[in-house]
Amino acid sequence: MQKIIKIIILFIFLFVIGIFYISLTRDTNYNTSSLINKETPEFKIISFDNSNFYTRDDIKKSNYTLINFWASWCAPCKIEHPILMKLSQIKNLSILGINFKDNNTQAKKFLSELGNPYDLLAKDKNGKHSVKFGIYGIPESILINKELMIIQKFVGPLSVDDYNNIIKIIEQL
Amino acid sequence: MKLNLFLLLFIIFSKFSFAVEKTVDPNLIYKNLRCLVCQGQSISDSNSDFAQTIKLVVKDLIDEGKTDEEIYTFMADKYGDWIVFKPQFNTQNSLLWILPYIVLILGGFFIFSFLKIKKRQ
């Protein structure tokens, strides 16, 4: 009986140590990697100039689409803007910009000053559309292929490494 | 008399039907959703931009007739299980749900065996 007790105590000890080890070595930063390789959600979003709506069908037209959530009040969006301008020159890549909870005049001013990298420009006035894409802060970008699969998600401003990564993915075509 | 009986039955059955209809309480859902940009706050506690947006989406989902389980699944689908305070049962966290019951059964068995041996002695 004492032997069983000793084994049980040892088992509990090892179990507790194991739990601590897993918990302490786990990456606690929130990421949206669960969305990768999933299909793009259905959406119908109004264009920036209120003239029409964009849906998933508009994404299918290009081999790759980068959906970029941005706003004029967002300082990191200004940081990533030169990268977006560079990306806008790439063939096979279309950029859908979604202006997030922004003022129209300010957003227009932002684009006229820094340039407009977007092939399609939409707006999400109350942020409801962003939830469909698992967005929790801006800037965030999502790379989607023609089959509407999410290939990569970029949380925070796009960096030079992200740019190279996108180029690498597109060149695989 | 007949009218009174009819009214009584009507009240009882209408109450019963109301009781069966499950209403979705948005505040309860807000309390069970984590604010991802806050420090340990729920959507209900937070006034952040993210929390306000989630509240709007939850209200829309309720208006669409979604149940609370469907809303939690939707949110977990978009933001991962981390957004739900009470995680849903799946293969990844099955141990978390099953382990307390296993420990309870093993513990009961252990105490029972221990007492039996002690009684014999």
Q: What interface predicted TM-score (ipTM) does this complex get?
A: 0.78
Cα A15 to Cα A10, A19, A94, distances in angstroms: 8, 6, 51
> Do B82 and B40 share a domain, yes or no?
yes
- B-facing residues of A in 114-153 (CB < 8 A) are 126-128, 130-134, 136-137
Q: pLDDT tens digits, residue range A58-107? A: 988 899 999 999 999 999 999 999 999 999 999 889 999 999 999 999 99
On chain A, the residues whose CB falls within 8 A of the CB of B79 are 30, 32, 134, 136
How many folded domains does chain B comprise? 2
Q: Where are the domains of chain A?
A: 32-171
Estimate to the nearest angstrom the gap between the alpha carbon of A19 and the chain centroid.
32
| Mean pLDDT score, B84-93 | 78
Q: Domain range for residue B110?
A: 92-121
On chain B, the residues whose CB falls within 8 A of the CB of A37 are none
Q: How many residues does chain A have?
A: 173
- pLDDT band at residue B13 using 50, 70 and 90 as cut-offs: low
> Do B72 and B27 share a domain, yes or no?
yes
> Do B82 and B117 share a domain, yes or no?
no
Q: Identify whether B107 is part of a domain.
A: yes
Give the domain A32-171 fold.
Answer: Glutaredoxin (3.40.30)
